[in-house]
Amino acid sequence: KYDHMMAIHSVYIVSKSGGMIFNYDHNFPKVESEKTFSFPMDLKLELRNKKLVVVFGQRDGICIGQTLLSINGTLVTGGQMENGEDALEYLSNGANFPASLRFGRTRMTTNEKMFLGSMFYPLYAIASQISPEPHSSGIQVLEAETFKLHCLQTLTGVKFIAICDPRLQGMEIILRKIYELYADYVLKNPFYALEMPIRCDLFNDNLKVLLETIERTGITNV
């Protein structure tokens, strides 16, 4: 039904002054795995940033950096189980084993997204500053093993950022299209103040339709 190569994971808009004013997760892959462990565990967990993170002992799809989501079906939040018990303490007790643990990549909170969105701004600026060639723009494409980030900076300084599958082609056109939607549904909205977070239903709806069209029929029809 759905071609993975067309996956666009998220869209961000960063304002001229560097603040993130819009974020939308379109098609975010869910990475989770559950496994039964005996005592002692061959994984090392550590509390980082209010999350129990795997720091050593990668195995069976459980990677370093993943978070402990639940123990025997009980959710773990902020290092604590639902009954308030400390999860690390629970796991250090051999009597609680065998235990079934679920690990996965956690979705970013809005705060974390704001932080990351704003972090892109100086990266973009430094990339242009350390350029070995004169008159370089900032980062337009950032490519890693698992995704590709495309950034379009408009003449007015607004940045449109999309995170998608590395194999997806023609992302520049899609970003231009999103810019068009922004001009039509955000800038023409009398209730929208510049530089403020975008809360325009028409923009959200049209963006969603655009991304779904691309997934269904490809970029050539946009």
Partner 1 sequence: MVMTIHNLYIFDRNGTLMFYGEWNRKKAGTMNKEEEGKLVYGMLFSLRSFLEKISPLDLTDNSFCYRTSKYKMNYWESPTGVKFVMNTDLSSPNVKDLLRVIYQMVYVEYVVKNPVCPMGEYIHSELFAQKLDELVKSSLIYTSKTS
Considering the complex, state which of residue 121 and residue 185 has its C-beta at the smaller distance from partner 1.
Answer: 121
Nearest distance from residue 205's CB to partner 1, in Å? 24
37, burial (CB in 10 Å: exposed 0-12, middle 13-18, buried 19+): middle
Helices (H), 93-138: 110-129
190, burial (CB in 10 Å: exposed 0-12, middle 13-18, buried 19+): exposed
Enter the DSSP assignment of 40.
S
Task: Give the one residue of 20, 76, 87, 139 binding partner 1; rule: CB under 8 A.
Answer: 139
Task: Give the one residue of 135, 155, 191, 193 binding partner 1; rule: CB under 8 A.
Answer: 135
Pairing relationship of beta strands 148-153 and 159-164 according to DSSP bridges:
antiparallel
**Residues numbered 144-163 forming contacts with partner 1, rule: CB under 8 A:** 144-147, 149, 163
Count interface residues toward partner 1 (CB under 8 A).
40
Considering the complex, state which of residue 139 and residue 186 has its C-beta at the smaller distance from partner 1.
Answer: 139
Task: Give the one residue of 53, 81, 99, 108 binding partner 1; rule: CB under 8 A.
Answer: 108
Cis peptide before 29 (omega within 30 of 0): no
Partners of 44 in the beta sheet? 56
C-alpha distance from residue 8 to each of 15, 23, 32, 174 (Å): 21, 13, 20, 10
Q: Does 127 bind partner 1 (CB under 8 A)?
A: yes
Considering the complex, state which of residue 50 and residue 135 has its C-beta at the smaller distance from partner 1.
Answer: 135
Choices 89-97, 130-138, 175-183, 189-197; region in contact with partner 1 by CB under 8 A: 130-138
Coil, helix or strand at residue 129? helix
Nearest distance from residue 179's CB to partner 1, in Å? 17
Could you write out the DSSP letters of every residue in 22-33?
EEEE-SPPP-EE
Q: Does 140 bind partner 1 (CB under 8 A)?
A: yes
**Residues numbered 171-210 forming contacts with partner 1, rule: CB under 8 A:** none
Pairing relationship of beta strands 51-56 and 80-81 according to DSSP bridges:
unpaired
Enter the DSSP assignment of 54.
E
Considering the complex, state which of residue 95 and residue 130 has its C-beta at the smaller distance from partner 1.
Answer: 130
Nearest distance from residue 181's CB to partner 1, in Å? 22
Nearest distance from residue 38's CB to partner 1, in Å? 25
Which residues are at the interface with partner 1 (CB under 8 A)?
9-10, 28-29, 31, 63, 65-66, 105, 108, 112, 116, 119-120, 122-123, 126-147, 149, 163
